[in-house]
Amino acid sequence: MKDLRKVEVLRDNNWTECRLKDVKKGEKFRMFEFDGSPVLGSVGESVFVADSDPYVGPNGPEGADVWTIGTIDHKDDDRPLKGEMDW
């Protein structure tokens, strides 16, 4: 079995485990590696805001299709930067 990232979405002020494909645009979510360590964004953040609904794209190893979601990253000046998280 392949090791997969754990995904949690913030709903009703509670972190709930879900699949990445169930995260909706505008929701906050976080991910963890199979060893439990948090997935960190480009500026060290561990909580992300979905800037798109999930989609399948060729972002996996050797161009394999994987679930991907657009994210909004925030630097110190709060300017949104587009990013992507893969599962």
Is 80 exceeded by the pLDDT of residue 7? yes
- Who wins on pLDDT, 20 or 15? 15
Per the structure, the count of domains in the chain is 1
Residue 1 domain-assigned (yes or no): no
Residue 56 domain-assigned (yes or no): yes
Domain around 78: 6-86
27 DSSP assignment? -
Q: What is the pTM of this model?
A: 0.71
Q: Tens of pLDDT along 41-80?
A: 888 889 989 888 887 766 555 655 566 777 775 544 444 4
Residue 71 domain-assigned (yes or no): yes
Tokens of residue 78, six digits: 């709060």
Name the E strands within the chain.
6-11, 14-18, 28-32, 48-50, 55-57, 66-74, 80-86
